[in-house]
Homo-oligomer: A and B are copies of this chain.
């Protein structure tokens, strides 16, 4: 969840000790506006910035809303110093989150052209300090948050398997983790995928495989355990996502949704609008 401490940190780093620029009297209003098409997200965070400064949000679109140039995401009113002081941080957080949402939306749309059910998921490759903001932006745009932190789902990796063997590694983590915590196993080929499913993985992560190998692995998993999910991962982009959507996997995860999405172009305009 977003906290006051987050907002405070963002403002403190931007304002400094003596902000002369925004030392203006009176009241004003303004709006956060899209300069290009995309999907809005982080609007609650932008709103929280103004709220911390005692300016009031009067209207806002829901996260996940498609916006066109000129559309207002949020309107605020209050003391001029508060509105002006908050605008840069509010734009920064909303532009970043909306960038994530917009790219997620594009990836989901690309995948859906091929498969109606496949999930397009983010990863733990998020920007430090913004895990929640980015994961919620992904969700708002129809993506899947994937595991939210290390404690959310166990990931059995190469080194675990090397040390313990596949079956025992799964067994050990299954025992240590809660029944509420899924177990995913990372594999590097169709054979290992089948073995992981047979050994009881909830999800089999098909890492860095080309689409044909991914298809083969997904089939082997389905044959081994009809309930196990499959996830394709590793360098997948908006351009290549349809190829993976066609492989029959359940989930396609893309680090680039969060770590490399360009910001959506937003700006803040003070004063009344026509």
Contact = CB atoms under 8 A, between A and B. Distances in A.
Interface string A196-216: 000000010000000000000
Contacts of A126: 92
Contacts of A152: 16, 148, 151-152, 180-181
Nearest to A49: B128
Contacts of A24: 160
A190 interface: no
Interface string A145-175: 1111111111111011000000000000100
A259 B95 contact: yes
A20 B181 contact: yes
A179 B250 contact: yes
Given A10-B128, A179-B251, A260-B99, A20 B92 contact: no
User: How many A residues are at the interface, by size bracket?
Assistant: 35 or more
Contact of A178 (B11, B99, B129, B147): B147
A129 B129 contact: yes
A227 interface: yes
B3 A144 contact: no
Interface in A229-271: 229, 250-251, 255-256, 259-260, 262-263, 270-271
B15 A151 contact: yes
A157 B8 CA distance: 25
Contacts of A256: 262-263
A131 B182 contact: no
Interface string A120-152: 010011111111100110010000111111111
B159 A14 contact: no
A173 B20 contact: yes
Contacts of A132: 13, 17-18
Contacts of A15: 1, 149-151
Interface of A: 1, 3-6, 8-24, 85, 88-89, 91-93, 95-96, 99, 119, 121, 124-132, 135-136, 139, 144-157, 159-160, 173, 176-182, 184, 203, 227, 229, 250-251, 255-256, 259-260, 262-263, 270-271
